[in-house]
Structure 1
Amino acid sequence: MERKPIDFTEPSIRDFGVQRHVCLNQPTDDVDHLAIEEPLEIVLRFRRGATLVRKPISITMRTPGQDQELAVGFLYTEGIVHHREVIEALVHGTDSSMTVTVRGHLDLTRLERHFYTSSSCGVCGKTSLTALGMNREIHLDPSRPKHPVEFLVQTPHMVRAEQSIFDRTGGLHAAALFDPDGNLVRVCEDIGRHNAVDKLVGAELLAGRTDFSDLLLFVSGRAGFELVQKSIMTGIPFMTAVGAPSSLSVELARKYGSTLIGFVRENRFNLYSGADRILENGKALPADKVD
C-alpha cells in the first residue's frame, strides 16, 4: 500500500490577536492560540466492474494533521471498509481532500449515505434513521477486558497529560485507547470528538493493528450515539467518557453488550451498561447491576 509518512508539521494552531478584558481593569492586547478548523473532503476511489469510480463520501470539519489516519478511521468505523488490507493508496490533494483507493468488494449501500460532517455533529445530515444502524455482525466478549474502578477514575488525568495541543488552545477533544493492563496506547486530538476517534482508530490500523477487542476507548467529551456506534463497529467493548451519554447511546451499548461509563472523574463515575467488565475489590460487578 502506498502511504505518505505522517506529517505532524502541518499546523493545527493559528495565532489571532485578542483583546483581554478583566473586570475593573483596562483591556490588554494579546495573542491567542486557536485550534484550526478546516474542511476535509474524503473521497473513495474504487472499481465498479471495469470502471474506476471516484466518489466523494464526506466533508468533515477537522483540525488539520493526521488526515490519512482520519480518512482510514472514518471508512472503518462507518463500516465502508472492513480491513486495512483493502486500502491501496492514500493521496492528500491540494484541494483539501483525501483520496483513498481501495480494492475488492465494498458495501455500496453504505456509500448511499451522503452527509456533511460538522466538527460537533458527525451524524447530522445522514439521509435517514436507518442509515444510523449497524451493518456488521458484531460479538463483544463479555469477559474482557476487565478494569478496576481505581484505574477507571484515573483515565481523565492520564489522557489530559498527553493533550499537547489542548494545552496551547484549550479547544480540542481527545480520544485515547488503553490496553488490558491499563497502559495508554495512543491519544489523538481534534476539534471534533468524532474526528478524534477516527484519527485514533485509523492510526492504529495503519500501524498494523487488526484487533481492538481488548481495548478501552476514552473520550474527553460526551458519549453521543455516534461515538458509541464507532466504538462498537470497531469491536471495542469498553468506553468511558468525561461527559454524559445520550439515551440512544445507552440503548445501543446495552443492545450489543458494551460497557459504557459517563461522567468519569477522579473519584466517581456513572455506569450505564456492561457491569461485568468492572472490577471492585478484585471482583467483577454483578451483570444485573445495570441493564
Structure 2
Amino acid sequence: MSRNQAISVVGLTRHDGAGAGALVDDALAVEEPMEIRVGGRSVAVVMRTPGHDRELAAGFLVTEGILRRREEVLDMVYCAMKREGGPASHEAGYGEVRENVLDVLLAPGVAVDWSRLTRNVFTSSSCGICSKASIEAVRGQFPAITETWKPTRAVLATLPERLRVAQAGFAATGGLHASGLFAWGGELIVAREDVGRHNALDKVVGHEFFAGRWPLGGRILLVSGRVSFEIMQKALAAGVPWVAAISAPTSAAVEFARASGQGLVGFLRGERMNVYAGTLAE
C-alpha cells in the first residue's frame, strides 16, 4: 500500500497542558468509499483505505461465496466517468477514470448466484453481518474445517511482533487495523492494513486468491483488533483453520468457531493467550 494512498496529512492545533496550543501537522488514515461491481452490476459499497483495491474486491467476493477460483476472473477495471449524455465505458480515454468504482469482469461461462450475498449493499468500515437471516446463510454456505493440524504456543507467541513490524500505516497514524497470514512455522506470508478490520482480511484473502494459494489450510490468521462473527466467517470461507487476535473475541465469534471446527485464540500477548476454541499442540 502506498503511503500517499493510505495517509492524509492535515493541520491541527495541539494542546498539551495549560499553555497555548501549537499548530502542527498530523497523519490520518484515509477512508474513502469504493463501489464493487460484477459485470457492471453494483454489488457493494465499502468504506476502505485506498490501496490493494483488487485484492479487496476479490477477497470480498470470495468470502461472499461469489468467486471460487482464480480462473473465474477475467479482469478488474476502474470505471470511467460517464460523459454527459453518454453511457459509462471501460475504454481507454473515455472520460476520467474513477478509482472508487471497480468492476470485476468474469470469464465467459461463469454464472453468479446473487442469492449467496449475505450483507447489505452498503458496508461501513466497522459493520458486520446485519441480520439473523444473514447469519444462517453464512453458516450453511461454507464447509466446516476438518484438518487436525494445531499450532504451538511458542509459534503463536511470536506472531504479534511480526505483524507489528509490518504495520507501517498504523505506526504513522494509529488508525489502521491489520490482518496477517502466517505459515504453520510462524513465517509471515502477507499483511494488509485498512481502516476496516474486515477489509484488511479481505485484502489478505484476495492476495492469496490471486497468488493461487487456495484454500488456506495450514495457516494462522492474526488480526490486530477484536474478532467478530464476520472475521470468523471470512476465515472459514478462505479455509483458514486457526484465527488469533490481539484483543477479545465476541460471543458469536466463539460460538461460530466451535461449530465450524476452527481454532480461536484471543488476547494474544506474548506467552499469554486465551484459547476459546480448539486445542494447541504441546
Same fold per superposition (TM over 0.5): yes
RMSD of Structure 2 on Structure 1 (CA): 1.9
The aligned counterpart of 1:18 is: 12
Q: Which runs of 5+ in 2 are unaligned?
A: 80-96
Give the Cα–Cα distance (whole angstroms) in 1 for the partners of residues 133 and 21 of structure 2. 48
TM-score (ref. length: structure 2): 0.87
TM-score (ref. length: structure 1): 0.85
Give the Cα–Cα distance (whole angstroms) in 1 for the partners of residues 7 and 23 of structure 2. 19
* Equivalent residue for 1:42, pick from 28, 32, 36: 36
Cα offset, 1:156, TM superposition: 1.1
Question: Counterparts in 2 of 1:217-232, with a 5 A limit?
Answer: 217-232=221-236
Give the Cα–Cα distance (whole angstroms) in 1 for the partners of residues 118 and 156 of structure 2. 39
Change (3 A) 1:113 1:220: closer
Change (3 A) 1:126 1:80: farther
* Equivalent residue for 1:91, pick from 64, 73, 77: 77
Change (3 A) 1:27 1:9: closer
Percent pairwise identity = 40
Where 2:71 maps in the other structure, the secondary structure is helix
Give the Cα–Cα distance (whole angstroms) in 2 for the partners of residues 112 and 191 of structure 1. 21
Question: Counterparts in 2 of 1:113-128, with a 5 A limit?
Answer: 113-124=119-130, 128=134
Cα-to-partner distance string for 1:62-108 (whole Å, 9 max, x where unaligned): 00010001000110111111112101110022341111112313223
Question: Counterparts in 2 of 1:204-243, with a 5 A limit?
Answer: 204-243=208-247
* Equivalent residue for 1:160, pick from 147, 153, 164: 164
One-letter code of the match for 1:108? W
Instruction: State how many pairs are aligned.
Output: 262
Cα offset, 1:124, TM superposition: 4.2
* Equivalent residue for 2:111, pick from 102, 105, 109: 105
Give the Cα–Cα distance (whole angstroms) in 1 for the partners of residues 155 and 118 of structure 2. 42
Give the Cα–Cα distance (whole angstroms) in 1 for the partners of residues 50 and 131 of structure 2. 22
Cα offset, 1:204, TM superposition: 1.4
Give the Cα–Cα distance (whole angstroms) in 1 for the partners of residues 166 and 64 of structure 2. 27
Change (3 A) 1:233 1:134: farther
* Equivalent residue for 2:60, pick from 60, 74, 83: 74
Question: Counterparts in 2 of 1:180-191, with a 5 A limit?
Answer: 180-191=184-195
Change (3 A) 1:9 1:248: closer
The aligned counterpart of 2:85 is: none
One-letter code of the match for 2:31? E
Check the 8 A contact 1:116/1:124 in 2, yes or no.
Answer: no
Check the 8 A contact 1:240/1:260 in 2, yes or no.
Answer: yes
One-letter code of the match for 1:261? V
Cα offset, 1:208, TM superposition: 2.3
Which is worse superposed, 24-33 or 222-231?
24-33
The aligned counterpart of 1:268 is: 272
One-letter code of the match for 2:75? A
Give the Cα–Cα distance (whole angstroms) in 1 for the partners of residues 66 and 147 of structure 2. 23
The aligned counterpart of 1:288 is: none
Check the 8 A contact 1:8/1:66 in 2, yes or no.
Answer: no
Which is worse superposed, 78-87 or 182-191?
78-87
Change (3 A) 1:273 1:127: closer
The aligned counterpart of 2:47 is: 61
Cα offset, 1:256, TM superposition: 1.2
1:179 and 2:195 correspond: no
Cα offset, 1:18, TM superposition: 1.1
Which is worse superposed, 60-69 or 86-95?
86-95
Give the Cα–Cα distance (whole angstroms) in 1 for the partners of residues 215 and 131 of structure 2. 31
Give the Cα–Cα distance (whole angstroms) in 1 for the partners of residues 154 and 16 of structure 2. 40
Cα offset, 1:184, TM superposition: 0.8
